[in-house]
Structure 1
Amino acid sequence: MQNSELLSAIEGLARQAGQAIMKIYNREFEITQKEDASPLTEADSAAHHLIVEGLEALGLGIPILSEEDLAAFSGTDQQGRYWLVDPLDGTKEFIKHNGEFTVNIALIEKGKPLLGVVDAPACQWAYSAIVAEGANKIIYNAEGEELERQAIQVETLLPKRWRVVGSRSHLSDSMKEWLERLQDFEILPMGSSLKLCRVAEGLADIYPRLGPTSLWDTAAAQAVVEAAGGVVVTLNGKPLDYSSPQETLNPSFLVVAKNNLSSVIN
Protein backbone atom coordinates (compact mmCIF):
# COMPACT_ATOMS: atom_id res chain seq x y z
CA MET A 1 0.00 0.00 0.00
CA GLN A 2 1.39 3.40 -1.01
CA ASN A 3 1.75 6.03 1.72
CA SER A 4 -0.87 8.22 0.01
CA GLU A 5 -3.38 5.35 0.02
CA LEU A 6 -2.56 4.58 3.62
CA LEU A 7 -3.00 8.20 4.65
CA SER A 8 -6.41 8.31 2.96
CA ALA A 9 -7.47 5.23 4.89
CA ILE A 10 -6.31 6.80 8.17
CA GLU A 11 -8.18 10.02 7.40
CA GLY A 12 -11.36 7.99 7.01
CA LEU A 13 -10.73 5.99 10.15
CA ALA A 14 -10.05 9.10 12.24
CA ARG A 15 -13.24 10.68 10.91
CA GLN A 16 -15.27 7.59 11.81
CA ALA A 17 -13.84 7.71 15.32
CA GLY A 18 -14.68 11.39 15.51
CA GLN A 19 -18.28 10.75 14.51
CA ALA A 20 -18.54 8.07 17.21
CA ILE A 21 -17.17 10.57 19.72
CA MET A 22 -19.67 13.24 18.68
CA LYS A 23 -22.63 10.92 19.24
CA ILE A 24 -21.54 10.64 22.87
CA TYR A 25 -20.54 14.32 23.11
CA ASN A 26 -24.08 15.37 22.25
CA ARG A 27 -25.71 13.43 25.07
CA GLU A 28 -25.07 12.77 28.75
CA PHE A 29 -22.08 10.52 29.41
CA GLU A 30 -20.29 8.95 32.34
CA ILE A 31 -16.89 10.11 33.55
CA THR A 32 -14.52 7.82 35.42
CA GLN A 33 -10.87 8.10 36.45
CA LYS A 34 -7.78 6.20 35.39
CA GLU A 35 -5.14 5.09 37.85
CA ASP A 36 -3.26 8.35 37.29
CA ALA A 37 -6.45 10.29 38.18
CA SER A 38 -6.90 11.58 34.61
CA PRO A 39 -10.49 11.51 33.33
CA LEU A 40 -11.88 8.78 31.09
CA THR A 41 -15.21 8.77 29.23
CA GLU A 42 -17.04 6.19 27.16
CA ALA A 43 -16.04 8.25 24.11
CA ASP A 44 -12.36 7.45 24.75
CA SER A 45 -13.17 3.74 24.83
CA ALA A 46 -15.49 3.78 21.82
CA ALA A 47 -12.96 5.60 19.66
CA HIS A 48 -10.17 3.30 20.82
CA HIS A 49 -11.98 0.11 19.81
CA LEU A 50 -13.05 1.54 16.46
CA ILE A 51 -9.52 2.69 15.60
CA VAL A 52 -7.83 -0.55 16.67
CA GLU A 53 -10.29 -2.62 14.64
CA GLY A 54 -9.79 -0.35 11.65
CA LEU A 55 -5.99 -0.48 11.80
CA GLU A 56 -6.01 -4.25 12.16
CA ALA A 57 -8.37 -4.52 9.17
CA LEU A 58 -5.72 -2.90 6.98
CA GLY A 59 -3.85 -6.20 7.20
CA LEU A 60 -0.40 -4.64 7.53
CA GLY A 61 0.44 -6.34 10.82
CA ILE A 62 1.85 -3.13 12.33
CA PRO A 63 1.68 -3.12 16.17
CA ILE A 64 -0.59 -0.55 17.83
CA LEU A 65 0.23 1.58 20.85
CA SER A 66 -2.96 3.27 22.05
CA GLU A 67 -3.30 5.35 25.17
CA GLU A 68 -6.32 3.28 26.15
CA ASP A 69 -4.58 -0.13 26.05
CA LEU A 70 -0.86 0.12 26.73
CA ALA A 71 -0.63 -3.52 27.79
CA ALA A 72 -1.62 -4.74 24.31
CA PHE A 73 1.42 -3.16 22.66
CA SER A 74 3.91 -5.83 21.57
CA GLY A 75 6.75 -3.53 20.55
CA THR A 76 7.77 -2.30 17.11
CA ASP A 77 7.87 -4.58 14.08
CA GLN A 78 11.10 -5.59 12.36
CA GLN A 79 11.09 -2.34 10.38
CA GLY A 80 10.77 -0.26 13.53
CA ARG A 81 7.17 0.65 12.78
CA TYR A 82 4.15 1.03 15.03
CA TRP A 83 0.88 2.93 15.14
CA LEU A 84 0.68 5.57 17.87
CA VAL A 85 -2.89 6.47 18.77
CA ASP A 86 -4.69 8.85 21.09
CA PRO A 87 -8.36 8.01 20.52
CA LEU A 88 -9.49 11.20 22.28
CA ASP A 89 -6.85 13.82 22.95
CA GLY A 90 -8.22 16.53 25.20
CA THR A 91 -10.65 14.57 27.33
CA LYS A 92 -10.85 17.53 29.72
CA GLU A 93 -11.86 19.75 26.78
CA PHE A 94 -14.43 17.13 25.76
CA ILE A 95 -15.90 17.19 29.27
CA LYS A 96 -15.96 21.01 29.25
CA HIS A 97 -17.78 20.95 25.89
CA ASN A 98 -15.48 23.55 24.32
CA GLY A 99 -14.85 21.47 21.19
CA GLU A 100 -11.04 21.53 21.41
CA PHE A 101 -10.39 17.80 21.33
CA THR A 102 -8.95 15.57 18.63
CA VAL A 103 -8.41 12.05 17.34
CA ASN A 104 -4.68 11.45 16.80
CA ILE A 105 -3.28 8.62 14.64
CA ALA A 106 0.38 8.47 13.61
CA LEU A 107 2.59 5.90 11.92
CA ILE A 108 6.04 5.78 13.50
CA GLU A 109 9.04 4.37 11.63
CA LYS A 110 12.47 4.10 13.28
CA GLY A 111 11.50 6.60 15.93
CA LYS A 112 10.10 9.27 13.61
CA PRO A 113 6.53 10.12 12.59
CA LEU A 114 6.09 9.08 8.97
CA LEU A 115 2.51 10.24 8.56
CA GLY A 116 -0.23 11.53 10.80
CA VAL A 117 -3.85 12.59 11.02
CA VAL A 118 -5.32 14.93 13.63
CA ASP A 119 -9.10 15.11 13.40
CA ALA A 120 -11.12 17.69 15.35
CA PRO A 121 -14.70 16.40 15.04
CA ALA A 122 -16.45 19.20 16.91
CA CYS A 123 -14.76 21.72 14.60
CA GLN A 124 -15.40 19.60 11.50
CA TRP A 125 -11.83 19.85 10.26
CA ALA A 126 -8.76 17.64 10.18
CA TYR A 127 -5.03 17.90 9.53
CA SER A 128 -3.36 15.25 7.41
CA ALA A 129 0.30 14.84 6.48
CA ILE A 130 3.04 12.69 5.05
CA VAL A 131 6.24 14.18 6.40
CA ALA A 132 8.18 14.16 3.12
CA GLU A 133 5.24 15.25 0.99
CA GLY A 134 3.35 18.08 2.70
CA ALA A 135 0.41 18.78 4.99
CA ASN A 136 -3.25 19.62 4.39
CA LYS A 137 -6.20 20.95 6.32
CA ILE A 138 -9.49 19.27 5.47
CA ILE A 139 -12.91 20.78 6.06
CA TYR A 140 -15.91 18.44 6.16
CA ASN A 141 -19.62 18.60 6.96
CA ALA A 142 -21.63 17.02 9.76
CA GLU A 143 -22.04 13.84 7.71
CA GLY A 144 -18.27 13.52 7.32
CA GLU A 145 -18.24 14.49 3.62
CA GLU A 146 -15.12 16.38 2.57
CA LEU A 147 -15.84 19.95 1.46
CA GLU A 148 -12.39 21.45 1.05
CA ARG A 149 -8.72 20.44 1.21
CA GLN A 150 -5.96 23.02 1.29
CA ALA A 151 -2.20 22.81 1.69
CA ILE A 152 -0.84 24.43 4.86
CA GLN A 153 2.55 25.70 5.94
CA VAL A 154 4.10 27.43 8.92
CA GLU A 155 4.58 31.20 9.02
CA THR A 156 8.22 31.63 8.02
CA LEU A 157 8.66 35.36 8.71
CA LEU A 158 10.28 36.17 12.02
CA PRO A 159 7.46 37.80 14.01
CA LYS A 160 7.72 41.20 15.63
CA ARG A 161 5.12 40.06 18.13
CA TRP A 162 5.10 36.32 18.80
CA ARG A 163 1.76 34.53 18.73
CA VAL A 164 2.23 31.92 21.43
CA VAL A 165 -0.28 29.08 21.56
CA GLY A 166 -0.71 27.48 24.95
CA SER A 167 -2.95 25.81 27.46
CA ARG A 168 -6.08 27.46 28.78
CA SER A 169 -4.78 26.98 32.32
CA HIS A 170 -2.69 29.68 33.99
CA LEU A 171 0.95 30.14 33.01
CA SER A 172 3.49 28.44 35.26
CA ASP A 173 6.42 30.38 36.67
CA SER A 174 8.81 28.46 34.41
CA MET A 175 6.70 29.35 31.36
CA LYS A 176 6.59 33.03 32.32
CA GLU A 177 10.37 33.01 32.68
CA TRP A 178 10.82 31.31 29.30
CA LEU A 179 8.47 33.73 27.56
CA GLU A 180 10.57 36.69 28.67
CA ARG A 181 13.07 35.91 25.92
CA LEU A 182 10.40 36.64 23.31
CA GLN A 183 9.93 40.16 24.74
CA ASP A 184 6.78 40.95 22.78
CA PHE A 185 4.12 38.25 22.61
CA GLU A 186 0.45 37.39 22.95
CA ILE A 187 -1.05 34.15 24.28
CA LEU A 188 -3.53 32.25 22.11
CA PRO A 189 -5.28 29.66 24.31
CA MET A 190 -6.03 26.28 22.76
CA GLY A 191 -6.56 22.70 23.89
CA SER A 192 -5.24 19.28 22.80
CA SER A 193 -2.93 18.66 19.83
CA LEU A 194 -4.61 21.57 18.06
CA LYS A 195 -1.88 23.70 19.64
CA LEU A 196 0.74 22.12 17.39
CA CYS A 197 -1.54 22.29 14.37
CA ARG A 198 -2.10 26.02 14.84
CA VAL A 199 1.62 26.54 14.32
CA ALA A 200 1.57 24.17 11.33
CA GLU A 201 -1.10 26.22 9.54
CA GLY A 202 0.54 29.57 10.27
CA LEU A 203 -2.04 30.81 12.79
CA ALA A 204 0.50 30.82 15.63
CA ASP A 205 4.26 31.29 15.69
CA ILE A 206 5.36 29.06 18.53
CA TYR A 207 4.13 26.50 21.05
CA PRO A 208 6.46 26.03 24.03
CA ARG A 209 5.57 23.02 26.16
CA LEU A 210 7.42 22.95 29.47
CA GLY A 211 5.16 20.41 31.19
CA PRO A 212 4.56 16.68 30.75
CA THR A 213 2.94 15.16 27.68
CA SER A 214 2.81 11.61 26.36
CA LEU A 215 3.97 10.16 23.04
CA TRP A 216 0.42 9.79 21.73
CA ASP A 217 -0.33 13.46 22.47
CA THR A 218 2.22 14.74 19.96
CA ALA A 219 3.16 12.20 17.25
CA ALA A 220 0.37 12.79 14.72
CA ALA A 221 0.56 16.56 15.09
CA GLN A 222 4.35 16.43 14.84
CA ALA A 223 3.97 14.81 11.42
CA VAL A 224 1.70 17.70 10.42
CA VAL A 225 4.13 20.32 11.74
CA GLU A 226 7.17 18.80 10.06
CA ALA A 227 5.35 18.35 6.75
CA ALA A 228 4.33 22.02 6.93
CA GLY A 229 7.90 23.27 7.40
CA GLY A 230 8.11 23.38 11.18
CA VAL A 231 10.00 21.48 13.86
CA VAL A 232 9.08 19.85 17.14
CA VAL A 233 12.27 19.80 19.20
CA THR A 234 13.44 19.42 22.77
CA LEU A 235 14.89 22.44 24.53
CA ASN A 236 18.36 21.46 23.31
CA GLY A 237 17.21 21.41 19.70
CA LYS A 238 16.87 17.67 19.09
CA PRO A 239 13.72 16.38 17.34
CA LEU A 240 11.13 14.80 19.59
CA ASP A 241 11.80 11.06 19.30
CA TYR A 242 9.56 7.98 19.47
CA SER A 243 12.15 5.19 19.24
CA SER A 244 11.62 4.07 22.87
CA PRO A 245 7.84 3.63 23.18
CA GLN A 246 8.23 1.99 26.59
CA GLU A 247 9.15 5.49 27.81
CA THR A 248 5.80 7.12 27.24
CA LEU A 249 6.54 10.65 28.54
CA ASN A 250 7.95 13.38 26.33
CA PRO A 251 10.53 15.90 27.51
CA SER A 252 9.74 19.60 27.29
CA PHE A 253 9.64 20.79 23.70
CA LEU A 254 9.12 23.69 21.29
CA VAL A 255 7.05 23.86 18.10
CA VAL A 256 8.18 26.57 15.68
CA ALA A 257 9.06 27.27 12.05
CA LYS A 258 12.36 25.63 11.17
CA ASN A 259 13.96 28.91 10.09
CA ASN A 260 12.93 30.65 13.36
CA LEU A 261 14.35 27.99 15.67
CA SER A 262 17.66 29.77 16.22
CA SER A 263 15.78 32.80 17.56
CA VAL A 264 14.24 30.90 20.46
CA ILE A 265 16.73 28.22 21.46
CA ASN A 266 20.09 28.52 23.17
Structure 2
Amino acid sequence: MLDVLERAALKAGKAILEVYNAGPNVEYKDDHSPVTEADERAERIILEELAAAYPDIPVVAEESVAAGHVPDVGGRSFFLVDPLDGTKEFINRRSDFTVNIALIENQIPVAGIVYAPARKIAYTAENRTAAMFDVNDDFEAVNRRPIRCRGESSAPVAVASRLHNTPETEAFLKENAIADCTSVGSSLKFCLVAEGLADVYPRFGRTMEWDTAAGDAILRAAGGRVTLPDGTPLTYGKTSQAHDSDFANPNFVGWGSP
Protein backbone atom coordinates (compact mmCIF):
# COMPACT_ATOMS: atom_id res chain seq x y z
CA MET A 1 0.00 0.00 0.00
CA LEU A 2 2.74 2.46 0.86
CA ASP A 3 3.94 2.61 -2.75
CA VAL A 4 0.48 3.85 -3.78
CA LEU A 5 0.39 6.48 -1.04
CA GLU A 6 3.89 7.65 -1.94
CA ARG A 7 3.08 7.88 -5.65
CA ALA A 8 -0.09 9.85 -4.97
CA ALA A 9 1.61 12.22 -2.54
CA LEU A 10 4.60 12.91 -4.79
CA LYS A 11 2.38 13.59 -7.81
CA ALA A 12 0.21 15.88 -5.71
CA GLY A 13 3.28 17.64 -4.35
CA LYS A 14 4.56 18.31 -7.84
CA ALA A 15 1.24 19.96 -8.77
CA ILE A 16 1.32 22.00 -5.56
CA LEU A 17 4.80 23.32 -6.31
CA GLU A 18 3.74 24.37 -9.79
CA VAL A 19 1.07 26.59 -8.24
CA TYR A 20 3.42 27.70 -5.45
CA ASN A 21 6.03 28.87 -7.95
CA ALA A 22 3.48 30.60 -10.17
CA GLY A 23 1.73 32.33 -7.25
CA PRO A 24 -1.62 31.00 -6.03
CA ASN A 25 -5.05 32.54 -6.42
CA VAL A 26 -6.79 32.38 -3.05
CA GLU A 27 -10.49 31.86 -2.39
CA TYR A 28 -12.34 31.33 0.89
CA LYS A 29 -14.68 28.53 1.94
CA ASP A 30 -17.87 28.95 3.97
CA ASP A 31 -15.89 28.58 7.20
CA HIS A 32 -13.62 31.46 6.05
CA SER A 33 -10.60 29.17 5.68
CA PRO A 34 -8.50 29.75 2.55
CA VAL A 35 -8.35 27.36 -0.39
CA THR A 36 -6.22 27.55 -3.53
CA GLU A 37 -5.98 25.86 -6.90
CA ALA A 38 -3.17 23.79 -5.37
CA ASP A 39 -5.54 22.25 -2.79
CA GLU A 40 -8.01 21.30 -5.48
CA ARG A 41 -5.49 19.96 -8.01
CA ALA A 42 -3.69 17.92 -5.38
CA GLU A 43 -6.90 16.38 -4.07
CA ARG A 44 -8.03 15.35 -7.56
CA ILE A 45 -4.70 13.60 -8.14
CA ILE A 46 -4.83 11.76 -4.82
CA LEU A 47 -8.44 10.68 -5.25
CA GLU A 48 -7.71 9.32 -8.72
CA GLU A 49 -4.71 7.32 -7.48
CA LEU A 50 -6.57 5.88 -4.49
CA ALA A 51 -9.66 5.02 -6.53
CA ALA A 52 -7.57 3.18 -9.12
CA ALA A 53 -5.72 1.10 -6.52
CA TYR A 54 -8.39 0.69 -3.83
CA PRO A 55 -11.84 1.30 -5.34
CA ASP A 56 -13.64 -0.29 -2.38
CA ILE A 57 -12.05 1.83 0.35
CA PRO A 58 -13.91 5.12 0.96
CA VAL A 59 -11.96 8.37 1.11
CA VAL A 60 -12.69 11.30 3.39
CA ALA A 61 -10.90 14.26 1.80
CA GLU A 62 -10.96 17.85 3.02
CA GLU A 63 -12.13 19.64 -0.11
CA SER A 64 -14.65 16.93 -0.99
CA VAL A 65 -16.16 17.18 2.48
CA ALA A 66 -16.35 20.97 2.10
CA ALA A 67 -18.31 20.37 -1.12
CA GLY A 68 -20.71 18.03 0.68
CA HIS A 69 -19.29 14.70 -0.49
CA VAL A 70 -18.98 12.62 2.69
CA PRO A 71 -18.82 8.80 2.40
CA ASP A 72 -20.21 6.47 5.05
CA VAL A 73 -17.23 5.12 7.01
CA GLY A 74 -19.12 3.45 9.85
CA GLY A 75 -17.39 0.20 10.79
CA ARG A 76 -15.09 0.33 7.75
CA SER A 77 -11.49 1.03 6.91
CA PHE A 78 -11.10 4.35 5.12
CA PHE A 79 -8.58 6.91 3.91
CA LEU A 80 -8.21 10.42 5.30
CA VAL A 81 -6.72 12.99 2.92
CA ASP A 82 -5.58 16.55 3.42
CA PRO A 83 -4.17 17.52 0.01
CA LEU A 84 -2.51 20.69 1.34
CA ASP A 85 -2.13 20.98 5.10
CA GLY A 86 -0.90 24.42 6.05
CA THR A 87 -2.60 26.42 3.31
CA LYS A 88 -1.83 29.66 5.15
CA GLU A 89 1.85 28.68 5.25
CA PHE A 90 1.64 27.99 1.51
CA ILE A 91 0.02 31.35 0.78
CA ASN A 92 2.60 33.16 2.92
CA ARG A 93 5.46 31.51 0.97
CA ARG A 94 6.72 29.45 3.92
CA SER A 95 8.00 25.92 3.43
CA ASP A 96 6.15 23.94 6.11
CA PHE A 97 3.06 22.84 4.20
CA THR A 98 2.39 19.16 3.56
CA VAL A 99 0.43 16.53 1.68
CA ASN A 100 -1.23 14.10 4.11
CA ILE A 101 -2.70 10.67 3.31
CA ALA A 102 -3.57 8.04 5.94
CA LEU A 103 -5.35 4.70 6.18
CA ILE A 104 -7.63 4.21 9.18
CA GLU A 105 -8.45 0.74 10.49
CA ASN A 106 -10.51 0.18 13.63
CA GLN A 107 -10.40 3.93 14.37
CA ILE A 108 -6.57 3.97 14.37
CA PRO A 109 -4.20 5.35 11.67
CA VAL A 110 -2.09 2.38 10.54
CA ALA A 111 -0.35 3.71 7.43
CA GLY A 112 0.35 7.12 6.02
CA ILE A 113 2.59 9.66 4.38
CA VAL A 114 3.41 13.28 5.15
CA TYR A 115 5.21 14.96 2.26
CA ALA A 116 6.60 18.50 2.50
CA PRO A 117 7.19 19.47 -1.16
CA ALA A 118 9.05 22.73 -0.53
CA ARG A 119 11.37 20.98 1.92
CA LYS A 120 11.90 18.00 -0.41
CA ILE A 121 11.30 15.53 2.40
CA ALA A 122 8.68 12.92 3.28
CA TYR A 123 7.80 10.73 6.24
CA THR A 124 5.99 7.38 6.05
CA ALA A 125 4.42 4.74 8.26
CA GLU A 126 3.35 1.17 7.54
CA ASN A 127 3.47 -2.10 9.48
CA ARG A 128 4.48 -0.25 12.66
CA THR A 129 7.63 1.04 10.95
CA ALA A 130 8.34 4.73 10.43
CA ALA A 131 10.79 6.12 7.89
CA MET A 132 11.72 9.27 6.06
CA PHE A 133 13.23 9.99 2.67
CA ASP A 134 14.44 12.89 0.56
CA VAL A 135 12.80 13.81 -2.73
CA ASN A 136 15.03 14.70 -5.66
CA ASP A 137 14.33 17.15 -8.47
CA ASP A 138 12.64 14.39 -10.47
CA PHE A 139 10.21 13.77 -7.57
CA GLU A 140 11.77 10.40 -6.74
CA ALA A 141 12.37 9.03 -3.25
CA VAL A 142 16.06 8.86 -2.31
CA ASN A 143 18.05 8.29 0.87
CA ARG A 144 15.32 6.36 2.67
CA ARG A 145 16.07 5.75 6.37
CA PRO A 146 14.19 4.58 9.48
CA ILE A 147 13.20 7.02 12.23
CA ARG A 148 12.39 6.54 15.89
CA CYS A 149 11.30 8.72 18.77
CA ARG A 150 14.07 9.52 21.19
CA GLY A 151 14.02 8.46 24.84
CA GLU A 152 12.82 10.56 27.73
CA SER A 153 14.76 13.82 28.02
CA SER A 154 15.69 15.83 31.12
CA ALA A 155 15.16 18.97 29.03
CA PRO A 156 12.17 18.17 26.81
CA VAL A 157 11.52 20.11 23.62
CA ALA A 158 8.00 20.87 22.42
CA VAL A 159 6.71 21.75 18.98
CA ALA A 160 3.57 23.84 18.65
CA SER A 161 1.49 25.52 15.99
CA ARG A 162 2.89 28.75 14.57
CA LEU A 163 -0.57 30.17 13.84
CA HIS A 164 -2.75 28.59 16.53
CA ASN A 165 -1.07 29.05 19.89
CA THR A 166 -3.46 29.17 22.87
CA PRO A 167 -3.36 29.91 26.60
CA GLU A 168 -4.02 26.20 27.19
CA THR A 169 -0.87 25.34 25.26
CA GLU A 170 1.15 27.78 27.36
CA ALA A 171 -0.32 26.29 30.54
CA PHE A 172 0.59 22.76 29.39
CA LEU A 173 4.18 23.77 28.74
CA LYS A 174 4.43 25.39 32.17
CA GLU A 175 2.84 22.45 33.98
CA ASN A 176 5.28 20.04 32.29
CA ALA A 177 8.34 22.27 32.87
CA ILE A 178 8.99 22.63 29.13
CA ALA A 179 11.00 25.77 28.43
CA ASP A 180 12.06 25.00 24.85
CA CYS A 181 9.24 25.25 22.31
CA THR A 182 9.61 25.53 18.54
CA SER A 183 6.80 26.86 16.33
CA VAL A 184 6.20 24.86 13.15
CA GLY A 185 3.34 24.73 10.67
CA SER A 186 1.25 21.82 9.41
CA SER A 187 1.59 18.12 10.31
CA LEU A 188 5.38 18.42 10.39
CA LYS A 189 5.05 18.78 14.17
CA PHE A 190 4.18 15.09 14.47
CA CYS A 191 7.11 14.21 12.24
CA LEU A 192 9.67 16.18 14.24
CA VAL A 193 8.66 14.23 17.34
CA ALA A 194 8.77 10.96 15.38
CA GLU A 195 12.22 11.84 14.06
CA GLY A 196 13.54 12.44 17.56
CA LEU A 197 14.06 16.18 17.14
CA ALA A 198 11.38 17.04 19.72
CA ASP A 199 9.60 15.28 22.56
CA VAL A 200 5.99 16.46 22.63
CA TYR A 201 3.38 18.19 20.48
CA PRO A 202 0.48 19.67 22.46
CA ARG A 203 -2.53 20.85 20.48
CA PHE A 204 -5.21 22.71 22.39
CA GLY A 205 -7.38 23.97 19.59
CA ARG A 206 -9.65 22.64 16.90
CA THR A 207 -8.30 20.34 14.19
CA MET A 208 -9.92 17.93 11.77
CA GLU A 209 -9.06 14.26 11.38
CA TRP A 210 -7.52 14.79 7.93
CA ASP A 211 -5.15 17.33 9.52
CA THR A 212 -3.72 14.81 11.95
CA ALA A 213 -4.15 11.22 10.75
CA ALA A 214 -1.02 10.85 8.61
CA GLY A 215 1.25 12.52 11.15
CA ASP A 216 -0.37 10.51 13.92
CA ALA A 217 0.33 7.27 12.00
CA ILE A 218 3.98 8.21 11.65
CA LEU A 219 4.40 9.17 15.30
CA ARG A 220 2.78 5.94 16.52
CA ALA A 221 4.90 3.85 14.14
CA ALA A 222 8.01 5.61 15.46
CA GLY A 223 7.21 4.55 19.01
CA GLY A 224 5.19 7.54 20.17
CA ARG A 225 1.54 7.95 21.06
CA VAL A 226 -1.23 10.47 20.55
CA THR A 227 -3.70 10.91 23.38
CA LEU A 228 -6.39 13.17 24.70
CA PRO A 229 -5.31 15.29 27.69
CA ASP A 230 -6.69 12.58 30.01
CA GLY A 231 -4.43 9.93 28.44
CA THR A 232 -6.97 8.05 26.34
CA PRO A 233 -5.94 7.45 22.70
CA LEU A 234 -7.10 9.79 19.96
CA THR A 235 -9.42 7.91 17.61
CA TYR A 236 -10.70 8.46 14.07
CA GLY A 237 -14.02 8.17 12.27
CA LYS A 238 -15.78 10.42 14.80
CA THR A 239 -19.22 11.18 13.35
CA SER A 240 -22.55 12.29 14.80
CA GLN A 241 -20.77 14.33 17.44
CA ALA A 242 -23.25 16.36 19.47
CA HIS A 243 -20.67 18.99 20.38
CA ASP A 244 -18.94 19.39 17.00
CA SER A 245 -19.04 18.46 13.32
CA ASP A 246 -18.15 15.08 11.86
CA PHE A 247 -14.42 14.29 11.88
CA ALA A 248 -13.52 17.13 14.26
CA ASN A 249 -10.82 16.37 16.84
CA PRO A 250 -10.74 17.29 20.50
CA ASN A 251 -7.59 18.65 22.16
CA PHE A 252 -4.71 16.15 22.07
CA VAL A 253 -1.05 15.66 22.86
CA GLY A 254 1.50 13.80 20.73
CA TRP A 255 4.16 12.18 22.91
CA GLY A 256 7.52 10.89 21.80
CA SER A 257 8.54 8.86 24.85
CA PRO A 258 6.53 5.81 25.97
Given the two structures, how large is their TM-score scaled by the length of structure 2? 0.93
Distance 2:164 2:52 in 1: 43
Quick check: 1:160–1:184 contact (8 Å CA) kept in 2? no
Distance 1:245 1:128 in 2: 27
Distance 1:137 1:202 in 2: 12
Q: CA deviation at 1:169?
A: 3.5
Q: CA deviation at 1:245?
A: 4.4
Q: Residue 72 of structure 1 aligns to a residue in which SS?
A: coil
Distance 1:192 1:143 in 2: 24
In the alignment, does 2:60 pair up with 1:65?
Answer: yes
Distance 2:20 2:29 in 1: 19
**How does 1:65-104 map onto structure 2 within 5 Å?**
65-70=60-65, 71-76=68-73, 80-104=76-100
Distance 1:255 1:203 in 2: 13
Q: Which runs of 4+ in 1 moved over 6 A?
A: none
Quick check: 2:158–2:178 contact (8 Å CA) kept in 1? no
* Amino acid paired to 2:18: K
Quick check: 1:193–1:218 contact (8 Å CA) kept in 2? yes
In terms of mean alpha carbon deviation, does 191-200 or 57-66 score higher?
A: 57-66
In the alignment, does 2:209 pair up with 1:210?
Answer: no
Distance 2:166 2:5 in 1: 36
Distance 2:99 2:146 in 1: 20
Quick check: 2:110–2:217 contact (8 Å CA) kept in 1? yes
Q: Residue 104 of structure 2 aligns to a residue in which SS?
A: strand
Provide, for residues 39-62 of structure 1, a one-character-per-residue CA deviation record: whole Å limited to 9, x for no partner.
010000000111111111114411
| Residue among 136, 158, 165 paired with 2:159 | 165
Q: Residue 197 of structure 1 aligns to a residue in which SS?
A: helix
Distance 1:143 1:181 in 2: 46
Distance 1:118 1:88 in 2: 10
* Amino acid paired to 2:203: R
RMSD: 1.4
CA 1:119 to 1:140, structure 2 compared with 1: closer, same or farther past 3 Å? same
Distance 1:110 1:197 in 2: 23
Distance 1:168 1:59 in 2: 35
* Amino acid paired to 2:210: W
In the alignment, does 2:171 pair up with 1:177?
Answer: yes
Structure 2 residue aligned with 1:249: 248
* Amino acid paired to 1:74: P
Distance 2:25 2:164 in 1: 27
Quick check: 2:224–2:256 contact (8 Å CA) kept in 1? yes
The total of aligned residue pairs comes to 251
Provide, for residues 68-110 of structure 1, a one-character-per-residue CA deviation record: whole Å limited to 9, x for no partner.
0112222127x61111000000000000111100000001112
Distance 2:69 2:194 in 1: 32
CA 1:203 to 1:58, structure 2 compared with 1: closer, same or farther past 3 Å? same
Distance 1:199 1:240 in 2: 17
Q: Structure 1: 5+ residue runs without aligned partners?
A: 1-5, 260-266
In the alignment, does 2:34 pair up with 1:39?
Answer: yes
Distance 1:169 1:65 in 2: 25
Distance 2:237 2:25 in 1: 35
In the alignment, does 2:238 pair up with 1:222?
Answer: no
Provide, for residues 108-132 of structure 1, a one-character-per-residue CA deviation record: whole Å limited to 9, x for no partner.
11211120111111111101101x4
Q: Residue 24 of structure 2 aligns to a residue in which SS?
A: coil
* Amino acid paired to 2:70: F
* Amino acid paired to 1:23: E
Q: CA deviation at 1:181?
A: 1.6
Quick check: 1:63–1:73 contact (8 Å CA) kept in 2? no
| Residue among 229, 236, 239 paired with 1:235 | 229
Distance 2:129 2:141 in 1: 19
